[in-house]
């Protein structure tokens, strides 16, 4: 199921194609007189996942073609779907909604796509919209800085150990919030003598047959990996700290007639997408705010648990003690059955440390393994930035975000003109497709970039007061949501500040992003 580009002939071709096309942008490029500057462009996009590629598509469609996409990987495009190729990797949102509205795919094979099929869709976007020429692979951005006098950003990169520099009138940050694998801070983690695998960097060469495997983490990746591992390994032990709410996945193979219908009558696919969108919007009432629907969703999840787990103690271990929605809701039909297989066991004792042979838990037992799988997710920057970002008068964004990230409408930050964030502060969805939110951000960024380029502006900088007022209202709204109801989750900083989620419906977010109001911005000429 898991598709790594080098193992797949079609994808391998595309990786080669995008790699070969790098540096052959059809657009004319201004070579810098300074050898330190590699290239300059109207727009630098950092990251070639869904957001970065989507940005390039929308800019192209708006007639802006002077673009560079800096991608740190040497494995081509795809972002999180390129990296997450673990067995069972799939999206929790139906495929018809987890795709761009401006690039529908009638050929989804099932209602919820696996990672390989989503990656194929991303490759298809690159081909269809001819984005290969914009890509610069193995360009790991190490910092960006705004030059107020010149009105441009410079991005320094590490290209296979060589320092490079790119210049852009505007920068779009599309490096993704879930891009750096996070290992848990368990004492002794480096002492383990067996094999270690992180879900975001799967080792496809490792043969689990006959192996004793320990899985740490029972979040979104964990519940997908565990059923697959149980099929292969001799013994699987699942270490759980906090059980999550699990709801059934309404997964089914798409019939051929539906694909034909979508191809011949695209409006029918649009209608289904709209239906799925509205259905997911209604879920906000259950997972974002505490309402009677929240109780209903919890009841549904408990019924799912009761139906699949007959043992009272195991059911107790798997019953969450927080309001549904406070943490990410898990979607699975095969996680609970997998835990009850003869070769699998759930362990809820607190982990004391990792020893050379395995994991020691507080009930005094050392659980020994050949391999440890870390399904522990990603480092989510609540308060930092992925690399130094220097704005006007040398201000540093990670300094300003120390006590929690904030932005205007999630996309602009005062003091950092011409910088557009995707998946910025308070843009996370808890109930609907992330791509719906991204699309709204992309179209807002197009408006901003067009204003800058057409007006030949040095800078478009959001007013501090506007940003402040926006965030004050945002935090007030967040205080009434389930995310802030007392559980610990990656949505919150250690101090409980929510810099991650958007407290509303996707349609509210889209409305917020529909119009760029020039009055909110200071123009630098």
Partner 1 sequence: MAAIDLDTMLAKIKSSQWALADIDWDAPGAEEIHPDQWVKLKAFMSDLMWIEHVGARGFAAMAKKAPDDTLKEIYTYFHAEEQRHANAEMALMKRWGMLEGDELPEPNINLRLTIEWLDRYSDDMPLEVLGSVIPMLEIALDGALLKFLLDEVSDPVCHQVFEKINADEARHLGVDFHVMEMLGQGRFHQLAVKTIGTVANPKLILGVLAYAPLLNRMRDNIVAMGLKEERLYEAMNKYKRIGGRTAEGRRNPWFQIISRHGEYVVDRSHFYHKPVDALVKLSNFIPARLLGPVPTWVKELTWKPTA
In whole angstroms, the minimum distance from the beta carbon of 363 to partner 1 comes to: 4
The residues, ordered by sequence, that sit 6+ positions from 162 with a Cβ below 8 Å of its Cβ are none
The residues, ordered by sequence, that sit 6+ positions from 315 with a Cβ below 8 Å of its Cβ are 305, 306, 309
Whole-number Å distance between alpha carbons of 426 and 34: 39
In whole angstroms, the minimum distance from the beta carbon of 350 to partner 1 comes to: 6
CB closer to partner 1 out of 138 and 355: 355
The SS3 call for residue 423 is: coil
Whole-number Å distance between alpha carbons of 290 and 298: 11
CB closer to partner 1 out of 273 and 367: 367
CB closer to partner 1 out of 283 and 351: 351
CB closer to partner 1 out of 347 and 419: 347
In whole angstroms, the minimum distance from the beta carbon of 367 to partner 1 comes to: 5
Binding site for partner 1 (CB under 8 A): 311-314, 316, 321, 349-350, 352-353, 355, 357-358, 360-368, 488
Beta strands in 276-334 (DSSP E): 330-331
Beta strands in 424-499 (DSSP E): 459-462
In whole angstroms, the minimum distance from the beta carbon of 153 to partner 1 comes to: 43
The residues, ordered by sequence, that sit 6+ positions from 425 with a Cβ below 8 Å of its Cβ are 405, 406, 407, 410, 499, 500
CB closer to partner 1 out of 267 and 362: 362
In whole angstroms, the minimum distance from the beta carbon of 314 to partner 1 comes to: 7
Q: How many CB atoms lie within 10 A of CB 26?
A: 11
In whole angstroms, the minimum distance from the beta carbon of 352 to partner 1 comes to: 4
Q: At 191, list the tokens.
A: 């002492």
In whole angstroms, the minimum distance from the beta carbon of 321 to partner 1 comes to: 7
The residues, ordered by sequence, that sit 6+ positions from 311 with a Cβ below 8 Å of its Cβ are 340
CB closer to partner 1 out of 8 and 352: 352
Q: At 417, list the tokens.
A: 């003109």
CB closer to partner 1 out of 355 and 507: 355
Give the chain's length.
525
Q: Are the C-beta atoms of 449 and 255 separated by less than 8 Å?
A: no
Whole-number Å distance between alpha carbons of 364 and 36: 58
Whole-number Å distance between alpha carbons of 297 and 309: 18
In whole angstroms, the minimum distance from the beta carbon of 214 to partner 1 comes to: 11
Q: Please report, for residues 48, 169, 181, 349, the alpha-carbon distance to residue 72 in angstroms, rounded to integers and kept in the order given.
A: 9, 21, 14, 39
In whole angstroms, the minimum distance from the beta carbon of 348 to partner 1 comes to: 9
Whole-number Å distance between alpha carbons of 427 and 470: 13
Helix (H) or strand (E) holding 524: strand 521-524
CB closer to partner 1 out of 295 and 316: 316
Q: Select from 419, 401, 405, 384 the least CA-distant residue to 474.
A: 405
CB closer to partner 1 out of 210 and 455: 210
In whole angstroms, the minimum distance from the beta carbon of 313 to partner 1 comes to: 5
In whole angstroms, the minimum distance from the beta carbon of 330 to partner 1 comes to: 21
478-506 b/e with 16+ CB inside 10 Å = b? Answer: beebbbbeebebbbbbeeebbbbbbbbbb
CB closer to partner 1 out of 180 and 493: 493
* Dihedrals phi, psi of 520, to nearest 5 degrees: -80, -10
CB closer to partner 1 out of 155 and 346: 346
């Amino acid at each position: 199921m898991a598709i790594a580009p080098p193992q797949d002939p079609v994808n391998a071709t595309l990786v080669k194609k995008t790699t070969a096309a790098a540096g052959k942008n059809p657009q004319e490029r201004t070579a810098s007189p300074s050898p330190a500057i590699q290239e300059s462009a109207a727009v630098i996009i950092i990251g070639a996942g869904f957001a970065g590629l989507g940005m390039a598509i929308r800019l192209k469609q708006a007639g802006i073609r002077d673009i560079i996409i800096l991608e740190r990987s040497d494995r081509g495009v795809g972002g999180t779907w390129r990296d997450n190729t673990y067995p069972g990797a799939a999206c929790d949102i139906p495929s018809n909604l987890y795709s761009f509205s401006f690039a529908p795919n009638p050929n989804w094979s099932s209602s919820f796509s696996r990672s390989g099929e989503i990656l194929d869709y991303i490759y298809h976007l690159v081909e269809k919209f001819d984005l290969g020429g914009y890509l610069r692979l193995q360009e790991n951005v190490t910092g960006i800085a705004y030059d107020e006098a010149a009105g441009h950003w410079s991005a320094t990169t590490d290209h296979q150990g060589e320092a490079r520099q790119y210049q852009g009138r505007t920068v779009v940050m599309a490096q993704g919030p879930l891009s750096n694998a996070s290992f848990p801070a368990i004492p002794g983690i480096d002492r383990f003598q067996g094999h270690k695998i992180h879900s975001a960097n799967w080792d496809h060469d490792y043969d689990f047959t006959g192996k004793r495997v320990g899985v740490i983490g029972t979040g979104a990746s964990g519940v997908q990996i565990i059923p697959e591992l149980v099929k292969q390994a001799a013994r699987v032990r699942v270490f759980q700290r906090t059980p999550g709410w699990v709801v059934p996945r309404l997964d089914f193979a798409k019939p051929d007639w539906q694909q034909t219908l979508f191809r011949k009558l695209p409006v029918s696919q649009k209608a289904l997408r709209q239906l799925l969108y509205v259905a997911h919007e209604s879920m906000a009432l259950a997972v974002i705010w505490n309402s009677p629907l929240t109780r209903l969703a919890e009841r549904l999840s408990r019924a799912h648990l009761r139906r699949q787990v007959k043992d009272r103690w195991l059911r107790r271990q798997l019953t969450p003690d927080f309001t549904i929605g406070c943490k990410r809701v898990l979607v699975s039909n095969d996680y609970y059955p997998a835990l009850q297989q003869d070769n699998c066991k759930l362990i809820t004792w607190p982990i004391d440390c990792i020893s050379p042979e395995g994991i020691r838990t507080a009930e005094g037992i050392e659980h020994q393994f050949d391999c440890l799988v870390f399904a522990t997710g990603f480092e989510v920057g609540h308060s930092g930035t992925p690399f130094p970002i220097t704005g006007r008068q040398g201000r540093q964004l990670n300094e300003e975000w120390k006590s929690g990230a904030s932005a205007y409408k999630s996309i602009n930050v005062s003091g950092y003109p011409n910088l557009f964030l995707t998946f910025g502060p308070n843009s996370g969805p808890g109930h609907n497709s992330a791509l719906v939110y991204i699309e709204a951000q992309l179209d807002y960024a197009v408006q901003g970039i067009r204003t800058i380029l057409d007006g030949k502006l040095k800078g478009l900088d959001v007013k501090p007061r506007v940003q402040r007022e926006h965030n004050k209202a945002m935090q007030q709204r967040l205080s009434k949501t389930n995310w802030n109801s007392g559980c610990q989750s990656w949505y919150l900083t250690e101090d409980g500040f929510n810099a991650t989620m958007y407290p509303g419906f996707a349609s509210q977010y889209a409305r917020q992003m529909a119009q760029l109001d020039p009055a909110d911005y200071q123009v630098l000429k």
